[in-house]
Amino acid sequence: MFLVPGDERFYPAGAIASQLVGYTNIDDQGQGGLELEFNHWLRGRDGRMEVIQNGRGQTVRVVRILSRPKPGRMLRTSLDLRLQYLAYRALRNEISKERARSGSVVVVNPQSGEILAMASFPSFNPNNRATFIPAHMRARAATDMFEPGSSFKPFTISAALASGRYEPWSLVNTGNGVFRVGDYTIRDDADWGVINLTTLLEKSSNVGAAKIALSLPRHYLWQAYHDFGFGQTTGTGFPGESPGLLHRWFEWPPAGHAAIAYGYGVSVTALQLARAYSVIADGGIRRPLTFLDLIHPPRGRRVIPARLARTLRTMLETVVSPAGTGFRAQIPYYRVAGKTGTARLFLHGHYSRRVYNSVFAGMAPAGHSRFVVIVI
């Protein structure tokens, strides 16, 4: 019996941040998450020397040093482990309570694009390879696409307001809550009648959103969505990050032109949704997202006027009011703005009536947001 000294990665956060941080193989090569993305930075380099060994393979003399070892470099991330723990714990508890299959949470600083937390569940313990299950090892917030449902409506309303044809108090007739576009039927949860655009968001009217989208040119609407970052990666460089799916406007059938208004026929990731809501939260500026602690955040690019972003935040505050669909997201003594979304999953050639994604996208404080939070 003998001992062989060696080093091994240990992850103090364990399952709380495992998909995000990633893991290494037995040769200390990054195999996932930030370990893989920044493997070239963290890895270091072995030294080399010329030695004389005896018949047992033991070194008896060092002849010369050929190259000295180089340690891996320090990587300072933007992650706040306190927020990461709280996000993971809340996600795990709610998934257990609601008997959901999986979930993700993303927390972003909209003023810099820094990602403060990104949790997924189910998870795995990177310190115990026996627990590695492939389905639990992917960072769902970055890799998994989904139809965002009504959480996409603010971007339709943004396009409408930017067109100059609508104001927050402009009226749209939702009729009896049923609207047909060709062979496609769009329904609301209730008969809202004639409502303004603010109430449309507060009550989450599919019919109202569809009618507004159909009144806008398809190429104009596509450009508005694209400006918010949909159909593109977020700039993190995270391994396996999906760009989502935003079909070109000339590929939209009439029903698709209507359905995209309330988040069907478009696929996004939680990271994409976080960046898009960060545009609203930070006065109309779109920045790349990052996992690095930034000294000087990028200036970003203005995609909507600051006044429009401010108007959208005020409209989204009504969603978390007692009369809104997101009333449970209220926080005492804080102004919160956000939007709920529910999207049925497309399974076996049709939309399921029983299996769906629930989404909440929010920001706080609404007046000068420090956090954008996406929960799926």
**Would you please indicate which residues are annotated as catalytic (active-site) residues?**
150
Query: How long a stretch of residues is the chain?
Result: 376
Burial string for 167-200 (b: 16+ CB within 10 Å, else e) reads ebeeebebeebebebeeeebebeeebeebbbbbb
Helices assigned H by DSSP within the chain: 18-21, 33-37, 39-42, 81-98, 140-143, 153-162, 197-203, 206-214, 218-227, 254-259, 270-281, 306-317
* Six-digit token string for 80: 């706040």
Partners of 363 in the β-ladder = 337, 372
CA distances from 361 to 11, 231, 236, 271 (A): 30, 18, 20, 11
